[in-house]
């Protein structure tokens, strides 16, 4: 019976990580109602690296796919990229990104993460931002980790319509709709 439960748990672990690859061992243990040590042993047995290594591998894979901008132009850490479709980046708000008086993130950093991600998802060798419709929904503070997800929703001629939604751990903090123009003929 324990062998069957282990197979079921392994299958659930793989499925959960394929849909949410950034879960910690603690979160996985809570989800599967087992100890953290059990999760670590299961990952080892299945050849699944720990969170830091999974993130590093995804980032390397995503960086290799970039076409429209250089990896050094991406604000935040690009961790997933499907050219012409979608992408994900993560950025932690550091001390140099906040206003001194209130420790709230400067808006241009949040916008820059979204804008560079919108450019990164394009399957084009050169592109620029044509229009950006942005909405800051809640203030972001020092230390918060922001996860931006971009999706190409439409392509018309040399124009790409890209939506980017940025969240912290609890809620959406920023939303943007971009029209990105490919410079290719």
Q: What is the DSSP letter of 28?
A: H
Share the mean pLDDT of the chain: 89
Q: Which domain holds residue 22?
A: 2-48
Comparing CA positions, the residue from 143, 154, 148 lying closest to residue 173 is 148
What's the CATH number where 28 sits? 1.10.10.10
- Tell me how many domains the chain contains: 2
Q: Are residues 105 and 153 in the same domain?
A: yes
Are 96 and 25 found together in one domain?
no
What is the number of H-type helices and E-type strands within the chain?
Answer: 5, 6
Is residue 58 assigned to a domain?
no
Do 133 and 84 lie in one domain? The reply is yes
pLDDT the model gives residue 105? 97
77-115 confidence digits (pLDDT tens): 988 889 899 999 999 999 999 999 999 999 999 999 999
Cα 21 to chain centroid distance, Å, stands at: 10
Do 139 and 98 sit in the same domain of this protein?
A: yes
* Same domain? 155 vs 93: yes
Q: Are 167 and 88 in contact (CB under 8 A)?
A: no
Residues 112 and 151 in one domain: yes
As a whole number, mean pLDDT of residues 41-45 equals 88
* CATH number of 146's domain: 3.10.129.10
Residue 55 has pLDDT above 60, yes or no: yes
Whether 59 is covered by a domain: the verdict is no
CB 126 within 8 A of CB 118: no
Q: Is 107 part of a structural domain of the chain? A: yes
């Amino acid at each position: 019976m324990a062998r069957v439960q282990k197979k079921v748990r392994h299958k659930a672990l793989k499925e959960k990580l394929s849909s949410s690859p950034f879960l910690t061992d603690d979160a996985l243990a809570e989800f599967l109602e087992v100890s953290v040590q059990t999760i670590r042993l299961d990952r080892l047995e299945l050849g699944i690296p720990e969170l830091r290594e999974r993130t590093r591998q995804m980032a390397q894979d995503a960086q290799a796919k970039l076409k429209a901008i250089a990896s050094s132009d991406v604000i935040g850490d690009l961790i997933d990229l499907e050219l012409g479709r979608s992408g994900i980046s993560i950025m932690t708000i550091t001390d140099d990104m906040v206003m001194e008086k209130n420790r709230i993130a400067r808006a241009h950093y949040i916008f820059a993460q979204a804008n560079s991600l919108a450019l990164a998802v394009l399957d084009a060798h050169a592109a620029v931002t044509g229009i950006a419709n942005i909405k800051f929904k809640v203030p972001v503070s020092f230390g918060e980790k922001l996860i931006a997800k971009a999706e190409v929703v439409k392509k018309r001629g040399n124009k790409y319509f890209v939506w980017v939604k940025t969240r912290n751990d609890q809620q959406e903090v920023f939303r943007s709709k971009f029209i990105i123009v490919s410079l290719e003929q």
